[in-house]
Amino acid sequence: MAIEVDMMKKVPVAEQDPLVRARNFDEVCLGYKEEEARAESTRCLQCKNPKCVEGCPVRIDIPGFIEKLKEGDNAGAYEIISEASSLPAVCGRVCPQETQCEGNCIRGIKGEAVSIGKLERFAADWAREHGINPVKKTSGNGRKVAVIGAGPSGLTCAGDLARMGYEVTIFEALHKAGGVLVYGIPEFRLPKDEVVAREIENVKALGVEIKTDYIIGRSETIDELMEDQGFEAVYIASGAGLPMFMHIPGEQALGVYSANEYLTRANLMKAYREDYDTPINKGQKTVVVGGGNVAMDAARTALRLGSDVTIVYRRSEKELPARAEEVHHAKEEGIRFALLTNPVEILEDEEGLVKGIRVIKMELGEPDASGRRRPVEIEGSEYEIECDTVIMALGTTPNPLISSTTDNLETNKRKCIVADEENGATSRPGVFAGGDCATGAATVILAMGAGRKAARGIDDYLNGRQ
Amino acid sequence: MFKILEAEVLADKTYKMVVEAPNVAHACEPGQFLIVRADEESERIALTICDYDREKETVTIVFQTIGESSYKIAEKKAGDSFIDVVGPLGNPAEYVNEPIEEVRKRHYLLVGGGLGTAPVYPQAKWLKEHGVDVDVIIGTRNHDTLIMEQEMIDAVGEEHVFVTTDDGSYKRHGMVTAVIEDLVKNEGRKYDRCVSIGPMIMMKFCVKMTRELGIPTIVSMNPIMVDGTGMCGACRLVVGDEVRFACVDGPEFDGFKVDFDSAMKRMKLYKSEEGRRLLAYQEGSTHHGGCGNCG
Ligand SMILES: Cc1cc2nc3c(=O)[nH]c(=O)nc-3n(C[C@H](O)[C@H](O)[C@H](O)COP(=O)(O)OP(=O)(O)OC[C@H]3O[C@@H](n4cnc5c(N)ncnc54)[C@H](O)[C@@H]3O)c2cc1C
Ligand code: FES
């Protein structure tokens, strides 16, 4: 069946019905079928100076891979993407395309941008289903490099270094590799077995060894890795760190979680599955504080566990930092938004259980340092929202573990590790860093890009080219 | 996989195991803990390191069964394995990294309540081995629940170990706080530091006593944990008006600054839910929930 294409509009993608998916953990977006992808690919204008590529943090040759899809050469499309990205099946699902590639698409000026993310996902999923593996194993050069953290940044760096012939070991603190991809982003957005586990298998297939249950800074320090274990360079990719809290009264009440804890229980520890032991407090009424991807994920997870959910965010809809698609999906699923609203106190009952949250309405004032208009409280506008669970999704502060156990490793005033943006170099020769631990909480694609640059930086360093 | 070499029942619901865990055994110091996962479906359970052998690459854990996952740990036998053992976690006791001459100037009082006796043991041993004066109080419900008395005596000498039972069934009679008071006020002992490890309620009262007596006191906090690496925030505590994380900032904190009341409140939540889970696990399909009998 040929698909009719409206050049102004994206070819629609199949999704689970909102009412059905609000009760399950299966993936929301079902992805393009081959003929849909082919149809969407015809919308690409093949610009001479492709603006989309400028918007991509890892500069994928977007018109190039879309052209291949149009020709029916799915494998060719995948190969082009793989040259720039090591986790396309992941990025196609979780990148904020609307502010990156798709945000720059010329089609988007008059109509809707080309659905670049969905096409990327199609190419990657197709390759996986057809057993196509990008990996070409090179013969080893016998030189050892250690990577700390098996999130997107560490995995990418390790994969690239292995392809260059290095003997790479990833040390991962948790019992499972993947970082935020396994403990943070939920199953319904990023399937763990089909997508994440496969990407990790690809990295292992290159000869990378992943040691789980291994905490650098406690089991071993960076100095010990380099002096006693013969690693010539180290890449730190240990992620964003500890959740922040608001320091308002009632925050220690029972039923207040950080989003990280809530999502870790649900995702990594699979509290939503009957056959796992992890307890989770399945609230009846949940309030999630924050407006980023993390807040959306927590809210939609609570919904799927059977709760009624309200998101409280202190700025307006326009400033919501989450991906547009997640906000759209959250609304479709019936999550309420209390925008321009900020918590002032969490209310608890005699037993210390959460019984509500006191909030105050806000209005937007002058722009602040981030360029966004600063929310200010409207006096006398306080009111209460009844709830039994509060999830704080307010961002993170760096984990001090590595910086405090590594001498002369420079951190900035936000306590993030200082790393050169071009090659990941830190203040310590041979020690490189990137991803969320250097930038603060950011995105998968930026973490991956940093891993890639650091791999080149490490190769240059070890060959005396730096 | 992490092999269990020895498994032994110490007292009712209290178990001791020796486990092969090279990464932990090489690096751990008194004051630190580890996390165990029994099998793929289990939670991550934070447990005390009670002893370690760097050469044999083993650690000794002592624990009680509270929830389903700790039950699964207890069901394992010598020769079985755990799917995950990770550590050491948390910071070593403060004296480990202090100049030893300074530490030797102090007289230490270690107080272990119930299961807290287990993590006190490596501390007592370390201090004694480093030539530091140390007395140990072991508090327990009754004679049957007493653990590790002999090990403690072997480590620091009989005249330095004071056992007290709540019901007076063995040695001294009464709470650890009464023993502290006795030792200081009536038996002429002088202490410059107290380390107190046990149930939160015991640590709270212990601190009340040592504050009166002017003995700076370290407590070891064991709140709910998930990852134990500083990622989830479940282990947060209020210490001197600040939010601190037991797994990265602790587990040992200045006892005079810890807000025990909010910490005890937070413990309740999962205990009850875990408790319910445990029932379902022990009773298998006979427990369907919702009958109103078990809440
Ligand atoms: C809920 C949630 C939703 C998100 N949604 C999106 C999205 O839709 N799109 C998007 O682009 N981004 C999203 N992000 C952000 C994105 O996931 C991160 O920016 C990205 O994962 C960072 O990668 P990383 O490799 O730097 O760190 P991480 O993924 O955090 O990985 C770090 C790893 O290092 C390990 N580690 C830490 N300390 C040590 C140590 N001392 N020793 C050994 N190992 C250690 C950790 O256990 C972890 O596995 C989301 C984040 C969260 C939390
Ligand atoms: S247990 Fe998760 S941060 Fe401490």
Cα B116 to Cα A153, A252, B67, B68, B273, distances in angstroms: 40, 24, 18, 21, 24
Q: What backbone torsions phi and psi does residue A222 show, to the nearest 5 degrees?
A: -60, -40
Q: Say if CB B86 and CB A173 are below 8 A apart.
A: yes
pLDDT band at B284 (very low <50, low <70, confident <90, very high): very low
Q: Say if CB A115 and CB A102 are below 8 A apart.
A: yes
Q: Is B227 near ligand 2, meaning CB less than 6 Å away?
A: yes
Query: Cβ A175–B86 below 8 Å, yes or no?
Result: yes
Task: Give the residue, A218 or A281, on which the prediction is more confident.
Answer: A218
What value of ipTM does the predicted structure carry? 0.85
* pLDDT value of residue A315: 93
Of A277, A399, A401, the CB nearest to B68: A277
**A460 C-alpha to center of ligand 2: Å?**
37
* Alpha carbon of A332: minimum distance to chain B alpha carbons (Å): 29
Q: Which residue of B has its CA nearest to A261?
A: B232
Query: What CATH class does A245-394 carry?
Result: alpha beta
CATH code for A18-129?
1.10.1060.10
* pLDDT value of residue B279: 43
Residue B98, pLDDT above cutoff 80: yes
The one-letter amino acid code at B75 reads: E
Tens-digit pLDDT profile for residues A57-109: 889 999 999 999 999 999 999 999 988 888 899 999 999 999 999 999 999 99
Of A220, A239, A277, the CB nearest to B41: A277
Candidates A97, A174, A180: which one to mutate for ligand 1, based on the most atoms within 8 Å of Cβ? Answer: A180
Of A214, A275, A399, the CB nearest to B248: A399
What ligand is nearest to the CA atom of residue A149? Answer: 1
Which residue ranges does chain A devote to CATH 1.10.1060.10?
A: 18-129
* pLDDT value of residue A137: 66
Determine the Cα–Cα distance for residues A78 and A233; give it in Å rounded to an integer.
Answer: 31
Q: Is B247 near ligand 2, meaning CB less than 6 Å away?
A: yes
Q: Is B103 near ligand 2, meaning CB less than 6 Å away?
A: no
pLDDT band at A14 (very low <50, low <70, confident <90, very high): very high
Residue B282, pLDDT above cutoff 80: no
Determine the Cα–Cα distance for residues B240 and A288; give it in Å rounded to an integer.
Answer: 27
* pLDDT value of residue B248: 93
Q: What number does the ligand 1 atom closest to the CA of A184 have?
A: 1
**A242 C-alpha to center of ligand 2: Å?**
8
Determine the Cα–Cα distance for residues A86 and A448; give it in Å rounded to an integer.
Answer: 8
Least confident of B163-167, B241-245, B269-273: B269-273
CB contact A183 to B (< 8 Å): yes
CB contact A252 to B (< 8 Å): yes
Residue B13, pLDDT above cutoff 90: no
Please list the residues that pair with A18 across neighbouring strands.
none
Domains of chain B: 2-89 (2.40.30.10), 94-220 (3.40.50.80)
What ligand is nearest to the CA atom of residue A265? Answer: 2
pLDDT band at B291 (very low <50, low <70, confident <90, very high): very low
Q: What number does the ligand 1 atom closest to the CA of A323 have?
A: 8
pLDDT band at B269 (very low <50, low <70, confident <90, very high): low
Chain B residues lying within 8 Å of A192, measured CB to CB = none
Dihedral sign, Cα of residue B173, residue B175, residue B180, residue B185: negative
Chain A residues lying within 8 Å of B277, measured CB to CB = 277, 279
* pLDDT value of residue A3: 79
* Alpha carbon of A290: minimum distance to chain B alpha carbons (Å): 16
Q: Which of B23, B42, B232 to mutate to test the interface with A (most CBs of A within 10 A)?
A: B232
Cα three-residue angle B236-B237-B238, rounded to 5 degrees: 135
Q: B88: cis peptide before it, omega within 30°?
A: yes
Residue A164, pLDDT above cutoff 60: yes
pLDDT band at B265 (very low <50, low <70, confident <90, very high): confident
Q: Which residue of A has its CA nearest to B235?
A: A261
pLDDT band at A366 (very low <50, low <70, confident <90, very high): confident
Determine the Cα–Cα distance for residues A280 and A307; give it in Å rounded to an integer.
Answer: 12
pLDDT band at B174 (very low <50, low <70, confident <90, very high): confident
Dihedral sign, Cα of residue B163, residue B168, residue B169, residue B171: positive
Q: Say if CB A425 and CB A457 are below 8 A apart.
A: yes
Candidates A293, A296, A397, A403: which one to mutate for ligand 1, based on the most atoms within 8 Å of Cβ? Answer: A293
pLDDT band at B273 (very low <50, low <70, confident <90, very high): low
* pLDDT value of residue B224: 84
Q: Say if CB B4 and CB B76 are below 8 A apart.
A: yes
Question: What proportion of chain B, given as a percentage, has pLDDT over 70?
Answer: 89
Task: Give the residue, B279 or B213, on which the prediction is more confident.
Answer: B213
Question: Which residue do the tokens 């006693």 mark?
Answer: A228
CB contact A212 to B (< 8 Å): yes
* pLDDT value of residue B281: 47
Of A212, A251, A277, the CB nearest to B42: A277
* pLDDT value of residue B272: 56
* pLDDT value of residue A169: 97
Cα A162 to Cα A32, A82, A135, distances in angstroms: 32, 15, 10
Which residue ranges does chain A devote to CATH 3.50.50.60?
A: 144-241+397-462, 245-394
Cα three-residue angle B162-B167-B170, rounded to 5 degrees: 45
As a whole number, the mean pLDDT across chain B is: 87
Query: Cβ B229–A253 below 8 Å, yes or no?
Result: no
Q: What's the mean pLDDT in B243-254?
A: 93
CB contact A239 to B (< 8 Å): yes
Q: What's the mean pLDDT in B279-283?
A: 43
Determine the Cα–Cα distance for residues A140 and A207; give it in Å rounded to an integer.
Answer: 9
Cα three-residue angle A37-A39-A44, rounded to 5 degrees: 90
Determine the Cα–Cα distance for residues A403 and A420; give it in Å rounded to an integer.
Answer: 16
Chain A residues lying within 8 Å of B37, measured CB to CB = 175
- 3-class state of residue A51 by DSSP: helix
Please list the residues that pair with B11 across neighbouring strands.
B14
A144-241+397-462: CATH superfamily: FAD/NAD(P)-binding domain (3.50.50.60)
Question: What proportion of chain A, given as a percentage, has pLDDT over 90?
Answer: 77
pLDDT band at B72 (very low <50, low <70, confident <90, very high): confident
Q: Which of A218, A228, A351 to mutate to test the interface with B (most CBs of B within 10 A)?
A: A218
Residue B16, pLDDT above cutoff 90: yes
Chain A residues lying within 8 Å of B236, measured CB to CB = 245, 252
Q: DSSP character for B94?
A: G
Task: Supply the pTM of this predicted model.
Answer: 0.90
Candidates B37, B221, B222, B232: which one to mutate for ligand 2, based on the most atoms within 8 Å of Cβ? Answer: B232
Tens-digit pLDDT profile for residues A119-130: 999 999 999 999
Q: What is the DSSP string of B105-166?
A: TSEEEEEEEGGGHHHHHHHHHHHHHTT-EEEEEEEESSGGG--SHHHHHHHH-GGGEEEEET
Q: What's the mean pLDDT in B13-29?
A: 93
Question: Which residue do the tokens 């096409």 mark?
Answer: A119
Residues in CB range of B131: below 8 A, 6 or more apart: B100, B104
Chain B residues lying within 8 Å of A281, measured CB to CB = 269, 273
Q: What number does the ligand 2 atom closest to the CA of B245 have?
A: 4
Q: DSSP character for B19?
A: E
Chain A residues lying within 8 Å of B265, measured CB to CB = 252-254, 352
The one-letter amino acid code at B137 reads: I
HSE value, Cβ hemisphere, 13 Å, CA-based, for B280:
18
List the alpha helices (DSSP H) in B199-240: 200-213
Determine the Cα–Cα distance for residues B163 and B144; give it in Å rounded to an integer.
Answer: 13
Residues in CB range of B258: below 8 A, 6 or more apart: B203, B207, B219, B221, B237, B238, B239
* pLDDT value of residue B286: 35
- What burial class does residue A343 get, using C-beta atoms within 10 Å of its C-beta: 0-12 exposed, 13-18 middle, 19+ buried? buried
List the alpha helices (DSSP H) in A267-335: 293-304, 324-332
Chain A residues lying within 8 Å of B72, measured CB to CB = 277
Determine the Cα–Cα distance for residues B220 and B247; give it in Å rounded to an integer.
Answer: 11
Task: Give the residue, A32 or A134, on which the prediction is more confident.
Answer: A32
* Alpha carbon of A118: minimum distance to chain B alpha carbons (Å): 31
Determine the Cα–Cα distance for residues A208 and A373; give it in Å rounded to an integer.
Answer: 46
* pLDDT value of residue B295: 29
Query: Cβ B269–A254 below 8 Å, yes or no?
Result: yes
Tokens of A237: 């990719």
Tens-digit pLDDT profile for residues A385-436: 999 999 999 999 999 999 999 999 999 999 999 999 999 999 999 999 999 9
pLDDT band at A1 (very low <50, low <70, confident <90, very high): low
Least confident of A138-142, A379-383, B250-254: A138-142
